[in-house]
Amino acid sequence: MRVFMLGWEFPPFISGGLGTACFGLTRGLDQLGTEVTFVLPRAVDESLSSHVELVTPGSESSARPGTSFVMPASFAHIRFRTVEATLRPYVSPGVDDDEDDGDATGKAAKRKGDAKLKPRQPVRVISAGGQSGPGGHYEGDLFAEVQRYAGLACDVAAEEDFDLVHAHDWMTYLAGVAVADQTGKPLVVHVHSTEFDRSGVHVNQRVYDIERAGMHRADRVIAVSHLTRSIVLQHYGVDPRKVEVVYNAIDDNGRDEGRALPPIAHDEKIVLFLGRITMQKGPEYFLAAAKRVLEVMENVRFIMAGSGDMIRRMIQLAHEMGIGHKVLFTGFLRGDDVRRVYRMADLYVMPSVSEPFGIAPLEALANDVPVLISKQSGVSEILRHALKVDFWDVDEMANKIVAVLRHPPLQATLRDHGSIEVRGLSWVDSARNCLRVYEAALAERRD
């Protein structure tokens, strides 16, 4: 089985769950011996003259001069190819953009690339209630970039030999369709999130159209949860027979390292929000619950780690609620800082309004932090040892937060069972499920 895979993010060029998922999935496929050519857009360093670069895994020497992209050595069957693109679809520009600075070296490089290529033209996608817009910006002339990526992907595809095309999220769907049309190979599109998750009811029609066209053209659609599958069926009218659910998993890399570290001593109980501070993630529900918690408990601090277009409003909101001194905004955390904040946290809360999957709670559990997650998340379909709450039910969220902070046996039971549960998840299983979908798509072509 040879797969031509179209991705958007990949560590270290990553702004969220999509890159993590692509990394895990390709690793799983690699371990199952599946050959994958992974096509990835990346910012072009000014010293780089070629638009396309080829990196052979495990041998840095084959990388072109000037690249900072070092391949993980553990990939045996994966070839990475990158094409120039400048897109950051899920990261918002505007007032809070500075918060993102230095989140990863790649992103900084990307921004430099942006500036060189063209002036930034933020495309305003949604506008909730006429305000400055939660999560509503796509950067650059995204649609032209998506088209250009499709063309470049076709160029790469012409040089490659493969059985099937697998495209991750809408930015790559046009490329997926183009490559499938060009080669006649079956197309699998993988829905990590939909426009409805990202933008609520204020859907960008052009993004929706691309998503819909990709899903309809595809031989098979992979949804990351039943929650997402039902959106695909209801809002995109896709034939239910071709939509399969493949859950994400978590990479066991670094987990032992996390375990070896002792907890960081601190006097206060700490409740952690870690993620993009955007409409989709429900940060205002976290603050509302915090206020309720503080009505019955004193010695608690709430940490909001992350950046996003709602961060200023959240700082303002915390202040207006009179709990500003109890809420700490850290900005975007990376690497060791993430591990450190997990070691301090008594509870991780993910109050997402709409979360197609949600890998972050799995990471929290892997770091021995119990989790409270919204029922409006895909991950709640597979986690049994987690507290669950409707994102809007702020009182119940507070009720559960208080319980974890007050009753150490609850925290311990959640943590112990949760960490066992999360150890049972594996990207190899997810990859195996993907392979099953590939086989089904190919078998249908043979019939």
Partner 1 sequence: MASVCFYFQVHQPFRLRRYSVFDRSSEYFDHERNREICRKVAEKCYLPTNTIIEELIKRHAGRFRVAYSLSGLVIEQFQLYAPQVLRSFQRLAATGAVEFLAETYHHSLSFLYSREEFAAQIELHQQLIRDLFGQTPRVFRNTELIYSNDIARAAHALGFNVVMCEGADQLLGYRSPTYLYTPPGGSKVKLLLKNYRLSDDIAFRFGNRQWSEWPLTADKFARWVNNVSGSGHVVNLFMDYETFGEHQWEETGIFEFLRHLPEHVLSLPANDFKTPSECAAAYGTSGTYDVPHMISWADSDRDLSAWLGNAMQSNALHQLYQLEAAVKSSGDPDLLNDWRKLQGSDHFYYMCTKHLADGEVHQYFNPYDSPYDSFINYMNVLDHLRSRLPAH
Instruction: Say whether residue 319 binds partner 1 (CB under 8 A).
Output: no
Instruction: Build a one-symbol-per-residue string for 366-385: x at contacts with partner 1 by CB under 8 A, - elsewhere.
Output: ------------------xx
Structure token digits, residue 212: 């819909």
In the complex, what is the shortest distance from the CB of residue 405 to partner 1, in angstroms, rounded to a whole number?
A: 10
Q: Which of 337, 395, 439, 444 binds partner 1 (CB under 8 A)?
A: 395
d(CA 440, CA 186): 10
Only segment of 22-30, 261-269, 326-334, 412-420 that touches partner 1 (CB under 8 A): 412-420
Instruction: Say whether residue 407 binds partner 1 (CB under 8 A).
Output: yes
Nearest to 173 by CA among 200, 198, 192: 192
Instruction: Say whether residue 445 binds partner 1 (CB under 8 A).
Output: no
Q: Please state whether 44 falls in left (phi above 0), alpha (psi between -120 and 50) or beta.
A: beta
256-282 burial, b at 16+ Cβ within 10 Å, e below that, comes to eebeeeeeeeeeebbbbbbbbbbbbbb
Q: How many CB atoms lie within 10 A of CB 102?
A: 12
- Please report, as residue ranges, which positions from 183 to 242 form the binding site for partner 1 (by CB under 8 A): none
What's the gap between Cα 32 and its chain centre?
A: 23
Phi, psi of 261 (to 5 degrees): -80, 130
Residue among 123 and 410 whose Cβ is closer to partner 1: 410
Number of residues that bind partner 1 (CB under 8 A): 22
Only segment of 45-53, 248-256, 305-313, 391-399 that touches partner 1 (CB under 8 A): 391-399
Instruction: Say whether residue 121 binds partner 1 (CB under 8 A).
Output: no
Residue among 412 and 443 whose Cβ is closer to partner 1: 412
Q: Which residues contact 332 (CB under 8 A, 6 or more apart)?
A: 99, 100, 103, 305, 306, 307
d(CA 44, CA 35): 26
Residue among 51 and 407 whose Cβ is closer to partner 1: 407
* Strand pairing category for 327-331 and 52-55: unpaired
In the complex, what is the shortest distance from the CB of residue 412 to partner 1, in angstroms, rounded to a whole number?
A: 5
Burial zone of 248 (CB within 10 Å; 0-12 exposed, 13-18 middle, 19+ buried): buried
Which residues of 253-326 form beta strands (DSSP E)? 269-274, 300-305
The dihedral over CA atoms of 130, 132, 133, 137, expressed in degrees to the nearest 10, equals 130
DSSP SS3 for 430:
helix
Instruction: Say whether residue 81 binds partner 1 (CB under 8 A).
Output: no
Give yes or no for a contact between 42 and 82, defined as CB atoms under 8 angstroms apart. Answer: yes
* Strand pairing category for 164-168 and 269-274: unpaired
- Please report, as residue ranges, which positions from 251 to 310 form the binding site for partner 1 (by CB under 8 A): 292, 295-296
Only segment of 3-11, 150-158, 331-339, 396-404 that touches partner 1 (CB under 8 A): 396-404
Instruction: Say whether residue 123 binds partner 1 (CB under 8 A).
Output: no
Which residues of 375-419 form beta strands (DSSP E)? 387-389
In the complex, what is the shortest distance from the CB of residue 372 to partner 1, in angstroms, rounded to a whole number?
A: 10
In the complex, what is the shortest distance from the CB of residue 361 to partner 1, in angstroms, rounded to a whole number?
A: 14
Q: Which of 406, 423, 436, 445 binds partner 1 (CB under 8 A)?
A: 406
The verdict on whether omega for the bond into residue 72 sits within 30 degrees of 0, i.e. cis, is: no
Q: Which of 64, 339, 417, 432 binds partner 1 (CB under 8 A)?
A: 417
Residue among 70 and 412 whose Cβ is closer to partner 1: 412
Q: Which of 410, 428, 440, 442 binds partner 1 (CB under 8 A)?
A: 410
Instruction: Say whether residue 388 binds partner 1 (CB under 8 A).
Output: yes
In the complex, what is the shortest distance from the CB of residue 292 to partner 1, in angstroms, rounded to a whole number?
A: 7
Instruction: Say whether residue 321 binds partner 1 (CB under 8 A).
Output: no
| Binding interface with partner 1 (CB under 8 A) | 292, 295-296, 384-385, 387-388, 395-396, 398-400, 402-403, 406-407, 409-410, 412-414, 417
